Structures are given as structure tokens and as C-alpha cells.
Homo-oligomer: A and B are copies of this chain.
Amino acid sequence: MMGKGRLEAFSDGVIAIIITIMVLEMKAPHGADLASLQPLVPVFISYCLSFAYIGIYWNNHHHMLQTVHSVNGITLWANLHLLFWLSLIPFVTGWMGENHFSKWPVFLYGFVLLMNALAYSILSNVLIKHHGSKSELAQAVGKGNKGKLSVFIYVTAMLLALFNSWVSFGLYILVAIIWFLPDRRIEKKLVHEEAGQ
């Protein structure tokens, strides 16, 4: 069947661009003193969080595809679907930063994160279906509790955003921390396999 090379290369390209164009939102201020940087502080904080999120997605994407040997047509589309939702992160990051974390931008930011989580989960399921439930990938991904927990926190954060958007923002940071480390399940699995050989 199809190799995974170009899927990885194209995803790397798109994710590299997404993670980098966000910095274009931070327009160099006209003033030359430190005070003129102040309005950029919330924009910069948004940038940091989104940089971390996109980094996490690239990282997990990398780990997941490590265990994959071939792809099919449906995989390509599930992957494009994930890239679509990732591509909306710069927009919601800009909106949230410019409006100092007010409720609707924070709500929408959470919604886009939620859709990314679902898109990643769809991609993961498509890959497992393609490789079989006894594949290395399927056993490594396991029950996906981390994914389910994230979805739960995102929905909670979205609802809370309508009352206190700072709590929501804190919850987004919490999910980032949960995902911060690369998917240990897969890494462990790979190490075990190697040790068992």
C-alpha cells in the first residue's frame, strides 16, 4: 500500500507553518520603550500556550506514526481533518490575545481545542482500524484515558468561560501539562517490544 513518508512530510510542513505564523500576530509596536510592549503581553501569553499545544500535537503525531507502517486513503483525509482544526488555532489565539481573555474568545479557543482532540481521536481510530486491533499501535494507544479526560476538561472550561474566563484559561494550561510528556503508553510499549526481542 502507500508509505507514510509523504503524509509525515506534509503534516510536518503544515504544522511548522501553523506554529510559526502565529508569531505574525505579534506586530512590532511603533514605540521604542518598554511600555509599548505592554499591550502585547496577553498576545504573547496566548502565543506561548498555543505554541505548546501545537508542539504537543506534533509530538504525539510523531509518536503515533512511529508505530504505523502504511496508510490508506481514509487516513489521508483523517489527517487533513486534523490539520484543518490545527490551522484554526492561530486565528483563535489572535482573537483571545487581542481581547485580553474575555469570555467568547476563550470559549471559542476551547471549542477549537475540543475539535482538535476529536480529530486526533478520529485519526487514531482510523489508523487502528487499518492496522488491526492486535497491532502494536492498538495495544499502545490502549483505552485513551488521557484523550477522554481532555475532552471532559475542554467542555467544562468552555462552559465556565461564560462566567470566569480565567478559570477556563487555567484549565487549558492544565490539559497542556497533562499532555506535555510524549505519549508514554506508546514509548513504553516500544521499549518493551525491543526488550522482548
Chain A residues near B (Cβ < 8 Å): 1-2, 6, 8-10, 12-21, 23-34, 37, 48, 51, 55, 58-59, 62-63, 66, 72-73, 76-77, 80, 83-84, 87-88, 90-91, 94-95, 98-99, 102-105, 108, 180-182, 187, 190
Taking a contact as CB atoms closer than 8 A, the residue among B14, B51, B77 that contacts A20 in the complex is B14
Taking a contact as CB atoms closer than 8 A, the residue among B12, B51, B95, B99 that contacts A84 in the complex is B51
Pairwise interchain contact A32-B87, C-beta atoms closer than 8 A: no
| A50 to B: closest C-beta gap in Å | 11
Q: A14-B20, A20-B14 are in contact. Are A8 and B6 (CB under 8 A)?
A: yes
The 19 sampled A-B contact pairs (Cβ below 8 Å) are A2-B62, A9-B12, A10-B12, A12-B13, A14-B16, A14-B20, A16-B16, A19-B87, A20-B87, A21-B21, A21-B23, A23-B88, A25-B28, A27-B94, A55-B80, A59-B80, A63-B73, A73-B181, A77-B180
The residue among A19, A58, A180 with the most chain B CB atoms within 10 A of its own CB is: A19
| A149 to B: closest C-beta gap in Å | 20
